[in-house]
Amino acid sequence: MNVRWPWEWHQKTAVHPVRQRNEEYFSVIDYRRPVSEYEFVVFDTELTGLNPRRDEIVSIGAVRIKNLHILVDDCFYSPARTAGKGHSVGTFIHRITPDEVNSAPEPEVVIPAFVEFCGSAALVGHFLSIDISFLDRACRNILGGIMRNPCVDSIRLAKVRQKRLGKKSPAGYKAIDSYNLRGLAQLYGLPIFQQHNALDDALQTAYLFIFLVNSLLQEGQQTFGDFYRIGRHRRWWV
């Protein structure tokens, strides 16, 4: 039986072969295997702004994790050309200039390449709502639909870890006011990377993700399903 998802009812773009392969990868997912057996792609985007209806992806960076180890020689990074020609608010944050954007590949090249790089891996990001809303929009416009990769948000894993620490040792528990990526990396003694660069932020998130997974493994979480249940990103369609 062919199922038409609600977000595809008004879909105008023909289904891209890259998305067809993505659909095939995730026609069946076994959540019962140990999390260490799964492959993850940790990614981050830089944007022209925060409005997914108006703003655009300026760059995507990603790194692969296998056997809970970061493969530093298996990374993805690409700037992406945008419709806007001038400076935006985002320029002062990610420091990608209009000239760099104008000479970058078109999104029609970058997005399929990123989806192909991800393959059958689960996606990981920190505070995924913004990144996924922009990525979903780009995939619908270019590929005819969204990626089916399961998505895990490291901020959710961090909050669960803190909650469990508080229950185990309430007297010595220290609350966290902000779950900012760099703040958590400093708190946990992780390597610190340059901020507001998509690849560096992806690497920062990858170190955080592995730290949180190893910590939660000691708390009894074992399978990918265990981590997906507590870290799952739930899409809000735009």
Q: What is the pLDDT of residues 105-158, one digit of tens each?
A: 999 999 999 999 999 999 999 999 999 999 999 999 999 999 999 999 999 999
**CA 121 – CA 114 distance, rounded (Å):** 12
Q: What is the pTM of this model?
A: 0.86
**CA 173 – CA 158 distance, rounded (Å):** 14
**CA 122 – CA 2 distance, rounded (Å):** 24
23 confidence band (pLDDT: 50, 70, 90): very high
1 confidence band (pLDDT: 50, 70, 90): very low
Measured at the alpha carbon of residue 230, what is the angle toward residues 73 and 175, in degrees to the nearest 5? 95
Q: Which domains occur in the chain, in start order? A: 18-231 (3.30.420.10)
pLDDT tens-digit profile of 153-178? Answer: 999 999 999 988 887 776 556 678 78
Asked if residue 236 has pLDDT above 90, the reply is no
Q: What is the pLDDT of residue 139?
A: 96
Average pLDDT for residues 185-198, to the nearest whole number? 93
Sheet holding 122-125, edge to edge: 69-79, 57-66, 40-47, 122-125, 151-153
Do strands 122-125 and 151-153 pair parallel, antiparallel, or not at all (unpaired)?
A: parallel
- Dihedral, 176, 181, 187, 188 alpha carbons, nearest 10: 120
